[in-house]
Amino acid sequence: WELEGVQEDLAGDVQVALVKEAERIRAEILRKEGEVRFKRQQIADLEAMIDEITRMRAASQPAAPGRRGNPAVQALLERKRGGVYGTISSLASPKPGFEVAFETAAGGSLNDLVVDSRETAIDCINYLKEKRLGRARILPLRRLVTARKSLASAEALKLPGVVDYAINLVEFDQKYRRAFEYVLSDTVVAENLEAVKGLDGVRVVTLDGDLLSKGGALSGGWRGERKGTAKAKEAGFDAARRRQQISKLKKEITRLEEEMEEARAVLEAKEEEIASFEESKDRAKGEASTKSDELRALREKRREAYQGLENLRRALSRYERREAEAQAELEALGGEEERDPSYYIEGSLAELERRLEQNRRRLARLGPVNMRAIDEYDRYEEEFNLFRERVDALEAEKRQIERLIGEIEERKRARFIEVLEAVNTRFNRIFQRLFDGGSASLELEEEGDISSGLLIKANPPDKEPHVIDSLSGGEQTLLAIAFIFALQEYQEARLLILDEIDAALDLMNITRLGRLLREYSDRIQVIVVSHNEETVRHADRAYGVTIKNGVSEVLALNLN
Task: Give yes or no for residue 189 having a pLDDT over 90.
Answer: yes
pLDDT at 332: 62
**Rounded to the nearest 5°, which phi and psi values hold at 396?**
-65, -40
The β-bridge partners of 541 are 558
**Local structure of 554: helix, strand or coil:** strand
pLDDT at 179: 93
Highest mean pLDDT among 64-68, 349-353, 543-547: 543-547
Task: Give yes or no for residue 56 having a pLDDT over 60.
Answer: no
Task: Give yes or no for residue 83 having a pLDDT over 60.
Answer: yes
pLDDT at 129: 92
d(CA 216, CA 147): 19
367 CB-near residues (< 8 Å, 6+ apart):
322
pLDDT-derived band at 121, boundaries 50, 70, 90: very high
d(CA 213, CA 358): 152
Task: Give yes or no for residue 59 having a pLDDT over 70.
Answer: no
Task: Give yes or no for residue 429 having a pLDDT over 60.
Answer: yes
pLDDT-derived band at 3, boundaries 50, 70, 90: very low
pLDDT-derived band at 65, boundaries 50, 70, 90: very low
* pLDDT over 70 percentage in the chain: 72
d(CA 81, CA 123): 10
CA triple 367-373-378, angle to 5 deg: 165
pLDDT at 214: 82
Please name the helix (run of DSSP H) or strand (run of DSSP E) that holds residue 345, with its range, or none: helix 341-346
pLDDT-derived band at 26, boundaries 50, 70, 90: confident
d(CA 188, CA 203): 7
Supply the mean pLDDT for the chain.
78
d(CA 171, CA 166): 11
* pLDDT over 90 percentage in the chain: 12
Please tell me the least confidently modeled range out of 13-22, 232-241, 270-279, 538-547: 232-241
d(CA 525, CA 113): 36
Say how far residue 230 (Cα) sits from the centre of its chain: 47
pLDDT at 63: 39
d(CA 441, CA 461): 14
Higher model confidence: residue 201 or residue 390? 201
**Rounded to the nearest 5°, which phi and psi values hold at 518?**
-60, -40
The DSSP-derived string for 249-274 is: HHHHHHHHHHHHHHHHHHHHHHHHHH
Task: Give yes or no for residue 326 having a pLDDT over 70.
Answer: no
Domain boundaries, the chain: 81-222, 292-401, 492-560
Task: Give yes or no for residue 228 having a pLDDT over 60.
Answer: no
pLDDT at 529: 93
Fold topology of 81-222: Alpha-Beta Plaits (3.30.70)
pLDDT at 559: 79
Task: Give yes or no for residue 76 having a pLDDT over 50.
Answer: yes
Q: Pairing between strand 454-459 and 466-467?
A: antiparallel
**Whole-angstrom Cα Rg for the chain:** 48
pLDDT at 425: 93
Once rounded to an integer, what is the mean pLDDT over residues 255-259?
79
Higher model confidence: residue 433 or residue 342? 433
pLDDT at 437: 87
With beta carbons less than 8 A apart as the criterion, state whether 53 and 235 touch. Answer: yes
Higher model confidence: residue 343 or residue 499? 499
With beta carbons less than 8 A apart as the criterion, state whether 457 and 466 touch. Answer: yes
How crowded is residue 476: how many other Cβ atoms within 10 Å of its Cβ?
Answer: 16
pLDDT digits (tens, 9 = 90+) for 490-524: 888 888 899 998 888 888 888 888 888 888 888 88
- Judge if pTM exceeds 0.85: no
Higher model confidence: residue 31 or residue 363? 31
With beta carbons less than 8 A apart as the criterion, state whether 205 and 185 touch. Answer: no
pLDDT-derived band at 334, boundaries 50, 70, 90: low
Once rounded to an integer, what is the mean pLDDT over residues 344-357?
62
555 CB-near residues (< 8 Å, 6+ apart):
543, 544, 545, 546
Among 117, 214, 98, 108, residue whose Cα is nearest residue 156: 214
How many alpha carbons fall within 13 Å on the CB side of residue 336? 12
pLDDT at 292: 67
Task: Give yes or no for residue 352 having a pLDDT over 60.
Answer: yes
Once rounded to an integer, what is the mean pLDDT over residues 336-361?
60
CATH of 492-560, one of 3.65.10.10, 3.40.1550.10, 2.40.50.140, 3.40.50.300: 3.40.50.300
pLDDT digits (tens, 9 = 90+) for 127-182: 999 989 889 999 999 888 887 888 888 888 888 888 999 999 999 998 999 999 99
d(CA 106, CA 137): 13
Once rounded to an integer, what is the mean pLDDT over residues 182-197?
88
With beta carbons less than 8 A apart as the criterion, state whether 526 and 498 touch. Answer: yes
Higher model confidence: residue 325 or residue 143? 143
Higher model confidence: residue 150 or residue 123? 123
pLDDT-derived band at 366, boundaries 50, 70, 90: low
User: What are the CA-CA distances from residue 548 to residues 7, 175, 543 (Å)?
Assistant: 65, 47, 16
**Rounded to the nearest 5°, which phi and psi values hold at 522?**
-70, -25
d(CA 184, CA 89): 12
Please tell me the least confidently modeled range out of 23-32, 66-75, 145-154, 328-337: 328-337
**H-state helical runs in 149-223:** 151-156, 177-184
356 burial via Cβ count (<10 Å: 0-12, 13-18, 19+): exposed
d(CA 407, CA 249): 47
d(CA 446, CA 413): 14
